[in-house]
Amino acid sequence: MGEKSENILKDFYIPNYILVAGSGVRNASNIPAFPLIVFINSKSGGQLGGELLVTYRALLNKKQVFDLGDSAPDKVLRQIYTNLQTLKYNGDTVASAIESRLRIIVAGGDGTASWLLGVVSDLKLPKPPPIATVPLGTGNNLPYSFGWGKKNPGTDPKSVISFLEQVRTAKEMKIDSWHIIMRMKAPKQGSCDPIAPLELPHSLHAFHRVSETDVLNMEGHHTYRGGFWNYFSMGMDAQVSYAFHSERKLHPEKFKNQLVNQSTYLKLAGTQGWFCASLFHPSSRNIAQLTNVKVMRRQGHWEELLIPRSIRSIVCLNLPSFSGGLNPWGNPNRRKQCHRDLTAPYIDDGLIEIVGFRNAWHGLVLLAPSGHGTRLAQASRVRFEFHKGAADHTFMRIDGEPWKQPLPVDDDTVIVEISHFGQVSMLATPSCQSKSVYDPASPVGYPDGEDDTNDDELSEDWEERRKLGAADTFKFPDGFDIAHLS
């Protein structure tokens, strides 16, 4: 490495004694300008995660680079912040500077990145560090939303140093986080859990079954809680994703390349009937037939949301990136803002965008500059109520992780409720796709005529929603492969 590269790396290097419990105060010769903690899913991106781990450990202090297959991020961060607080109390100025400047890099798929976001949210750190994401997954919606790209990166030292230079100049942005609760009646026999080969998502926002002493628990029911940052979707798109993840779990050797993965995904979309939904997908499984949807636009006021009968997939979207970088909401023109009370998709306005799709062909309109799905609503809370009826199951997906969800077989109801939880800090490059409601440069809408018209559109106790379930309670189930988080 040249002198320039070595000087860059000094900005990120954390001294050993900061990372080791029980260390005493020392006079360090260098106070890093942008101290980093790096988390890498070594099983993401085929072999890329493992290669990236080797490179980061060669360039930085090995003790500041963690393999998520070996180290739980909540335990790592809790220990580091305990060290920092102890050293600060004893007068260590380096520890104080590191705590105020600390940044996190997480390398993996959207599930891995979301896991880290949930851990940071749950730990309630003194100054939560902003997070940069390295795209090592198939869709990479989170990295793309903040300007980090959607293609798997290079793993050589030059590529990593180039990425670190971007981290050094990146700006902080707040992002809304969303709490999700799912409640269903406990069956008299058998299990209510989703059907093999996939279980409920096990990333940071893993649905965590609450204990009997939790305030959210309801006698005679199973209640799950979790969180997400990008999207919750239901219907045909989640069914295709489930088929893809199931195939990858059965034949992991076939999914070592991002382009191959994307090609396989498209083939499965065809075989699952997403392009010819009217032939392969019974109308009884259309969203309007499966569930009643309610939204809260004003605090304390629920209202029914009309879902067109042709809608086969519904997406509750927080970021302007879905299915590898597409923006289903688009930018409503001034007329629609005025008459339908629609706004641009800001990531920090406390509102989630609800979009519907008829089939994959409908989704292809997103490839047009002003294309979008069927805009249904913007709301601070969304509630799905599934009753006994048209189907015995449906498919759901959170931030890229799908599962097969059983629906009621008796007179009970399955409830899924989404509500605003809080915010976390991300790091964004100048090519960031996300817009802040507080940024004067963010567009408030397109002039009349630039928006595709698409004529078929149509306070609870905070303590009850205090956790996403990522930290403290998080653990992988026996036999779970961390590669699924890619």
Segment 376-380 mean pLDDT: 93
On the question of pLDDT at 200 being above 70, the answer is: no
Which pLDDT belongs to residue 305?
93
Alpha helices in 90-156 (DSSP H): 93-101, 110-123, 141-145
- Extract the tokens encoding 370: 């002003």
On the question of pLDDT at 198 being above 60, the answer is: no
pTM here is: 0.80
- Extract the tokens encoding 285: 């499984």
pLDDT single digits (tens) 49-58 = 999 999 999 9
442 alpha carbon, distance to own chain's centre: 22
Which pLDDT belongs to residue 33?
94
Q: Where residue 62 falls among pLDDT bands split at 50, 70, 90?
A: very high
Q: Where residue 414 falls among pLDDT bands split at 50, 70, 90?
A: confident
CB 370 within 8 A of CB 451: yes
On the question of pLDDT at 43 being above 90, the answer is: no
On the question of pLDDT at 465 being above 70, the answer is: no
Segment 92-120 mean pLDDT: 91
**Helices and strands: H and E segment counts in the chain:** 14, 17
Segment 149-159 mean pLDDT: 90
Q: Determine the Cα–Cα distance for residues 210 and 207; give it in Å rounded to an integer.
A: 9
Q: Determine the Cα–Cα distance for residues 40 and 109; give it in Å rounded to an integer.
A: 10
On the question of pLDDT at 27 being above 80, the answer is: no
Which pLDDT belongs to residue 264?
52
Q: Determine the Cα–Cα distance for residues 257 and 267; give it in Å rounded to an integer.
A: 15
Q: Where residue 170 falls among pLDDT bands split at 50, 70, 90?
A: very high
Q: Where residue 366 falls among pLDDT bands split at 50, 70, 90?
A: very low
Report the chain's mean pLDDT, rounded to a whole number. 78
Q: For 400, phi and psi rounded to 5 degrees?
A: 90, -5
Which pLDDT belongs to residue 454?
45
Give yes or no for a cis peptide into 197 (omega within 30° of 0). Answer: yes
Which pLDDT belongs to residue 53?
95
* 55 membership: H or E segment, kind and range: helix 48-59
